[in-house]
């Protein structure tokens, strides 16, 4: 399936049923043809709902909305009235976390009365649940913060590193927190001792990070190929070199997508192409060989049988792997 939308796609995701695209005009489009328009303005972030049915979106209207096929419902409003910058959902606990300005908010998909708001000193740029869905990491200027999702009054654990941190993720084993930084590098912390990991050498900003191969590899965008960092053993990538696959000096990888339980990696390029590879094997399989506008969104289905892509001109597609 390929299609062209009237607005730029800001996120591509797979729920339990199929591919879903969130757009800059505030609408959500499903690969089955359904359409929801629930935001007054652009959708800035999206995550699969904890139930696996549909997606939760945050917009520049300060609304958090649950979209299912043919149905959309308001879940929350940002406490500050500011736009919602980042969002993540935890399937195990049913919690939804989102950021607006300096505030991290947590709501419960099964309990409409539950809400926690945690205020930071600086603007929150990224939000991520740990693998168990009980702690939340936020990225901000000067490092990352760790919060317990359900505890009302607490002080966060601070993971400090100078500079502007633009997104955050946990390793699948929960042992490391990794942030992307404004100055084209990654930074990480091993949580058991807060030891720092510096991962640099990128020619461009890292806009996409994804784990694969049972969490033993972390793939990133930001270079002429997909950069792979080893996460094996207690030290993860500490003292190890990254490898690169799909290197092409004429293009840059803008998006990566994978699933932790599978070994396949998809990568979208700034020349519009999309490729698929298994890091343990040789060669690339082109999922989209035609060149065009830069790929701005990329996702892989949970069973690693389909990929969804979108470029900055609103062109999008779903490909069987």
Q: Given pLDDT bands bounded at 50, 70 and 90, which one contains residue 319? A: very high
pLDDT at 128 over 90: yes
CA trace torsion 254, 24, 54, 79 (10° rounding): 110
Write out the two tokens for 163. 């500079």
Q: Count Cβ atoms below 10 Å from residue 243 Cβ, excluding itself.
A: 14
Closest by CA position to 197, among listed 229, 226, 220, 219: 229
pLDDT band at 55 (very low <50, low <70, confident <90, very high): very high
pLDDT tens digits along 56-115:
999 999 999 999 998 999 999 998 779 999 999 999 999 999 999 999 999 999 999 999
Q: What is the pLDDT of residues 156-188, one digit of tens each?
A: 999 999 999 999 999 999 999 999 999 999 999
Task: Report d(CA 34, CA 298) in Å as an integer.
Answer: 20
Q: pLDDT > 90: what percent of the chain? A: 93
Report the DSSP pairing between strands 71-77 and 86-90.
unpaired
Half-sphere exposure of 175 (CA within 13 A, CB side): 13
282 confidence band (pLDDT: 50, 70, 90): confident
Which residues share a beta bridge with 185?
none
Q: Tens digit of pLDDT for each residue in 212-249?
A: 999 999 999 999 999 999 999 888 898 889 999 999 99
Residues 136-149, mean pLDDT to the nearest whole number: 98
Q: What is the CA radius of gyration of the chain?
A: 18
What number is the average pLDDT over the span 8-16? 97
Say how many CA atoms lie within 13 Å of 70 toward its Cβ: 1
Quick one: which of 166, 163, 184, 186 has its CA closest to 176? 186
Q: Is the pLDDT of residue 132 over 90?
A: yes
Q: Which of 182, 170, 166, 177 is nearest to 86 (CA)?
A: 166
Domain boundaries, the chain: 206-321
Residue 203 to residue 187: CA distance in whole angstroms: 16
Burial-class residue 319 by CB neighbours within 10 Å (0-12, 13-18, 19+): middle
Residue 151 in this model has a pLDDT that exceeds 80? yes
Please tell me whether residue 44 adopts helix, strand or coil conformation. Answer: strand
Whole-model pTM: value is: 0.96
Distance of CA 12 to the CA centre of its chain: 10
User: Which CATH architecture is the domain 206-321 placed in?
Assistant: 7 Propeller (2.130)
What CA–CA distance (Å, rounded) separates 257 from 297? 9
pLDDT band at residue 1, thresholds of 50, 70 and 90? confident
pLDDT tens digits, residue range 259-275? Answer: 999 999 999 999 999 99
| SS3 per-residue string spanning 191-258 | CCCCEEEEECCCCCCCCCEEEEHHHCEEEECCCCCEEEEECCCCCCCCCCCCEEECCCCCCCEEEEEE
Strand partners, 319: 307
CA distances from 218 to 103, 179, 210 (A): 28, 12, 6
Average pLDDT of the chain? 96
Q: What residues contact residue 118 under an 8 Å CB cut-off, 6+ apart?
A: 103, 104, 105, 106, 147, 154, 156
- How many CA atoms are closer than 13 Å to the CA of 253, on its beta-carbon side? 29
User: β-strands 176-181, 135-148: how paired?
Assistant: unpaired
pLDDT of residue 29: 97
């Amino acid at each position: 399936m390929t299609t062209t939308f009237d607005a730029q796609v800001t996120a591509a995701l797979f729920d339990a049923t199929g591919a879903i695209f969130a757009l800059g005009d505030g609408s959500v489009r499903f690969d089955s043809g359904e359409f929801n328009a629930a935001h007054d303005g652009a959708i800035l972030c999206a995550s699969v709902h904890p139930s696996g049915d549909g997606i939760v979106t945050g917009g520049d209207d300060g609304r958090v909305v649950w979209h299912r096929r043919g149905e959309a419902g308001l879940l929350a409003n940002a406490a500050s009235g500011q736009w919602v910058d980042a969002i993540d959902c935890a399937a195990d606990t049913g919690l939804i976390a989102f950021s607006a300005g300096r505030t991290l908010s947590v709501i419960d998909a099964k309990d409409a009365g539950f809400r926690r708001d945690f205020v930071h000193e600086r603007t929150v740029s990224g939000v991520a649940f740990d693998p168990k869905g009980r702690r939340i990491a936020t990225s901000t200027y000067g490092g990352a913060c760790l919060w317990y999702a359900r505890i009302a009054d607490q002080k966060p654990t601070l993971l400090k590193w100078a500079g502007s941190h633009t997104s955050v993720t946990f390793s699948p084993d929960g042992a490391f927190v990794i942030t992307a930084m404004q100055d084209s590098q990654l930074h990480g912390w091993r949580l058991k001792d807060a030891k720092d990991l510096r991962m640099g050498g990128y020619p461009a900003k890292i806009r996409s990070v994804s784990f694969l191969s049972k969490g033993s590899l972390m793939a990133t965008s930001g270079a002429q190929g997909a950069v792979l960092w080893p996460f094996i053993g207690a030290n993860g990538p500490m003292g190890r070199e990254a490898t690169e696959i799909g290197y092409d000096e004429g293009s840059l990888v803008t998006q990566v997508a994978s699933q932790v339980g599978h070994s396949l990696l998809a990568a979208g390029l700034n020349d519009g192409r999309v490729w698929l590879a298994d890091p343990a094997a040789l060669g690339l399989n082109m999922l989209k060989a035609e060149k065009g506008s830069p790929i701005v969104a990329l996702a892989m289905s949970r069973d690693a049988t389909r990929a969804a892509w979108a470029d900055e001109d609103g062109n999008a597609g779903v490909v069987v792997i």
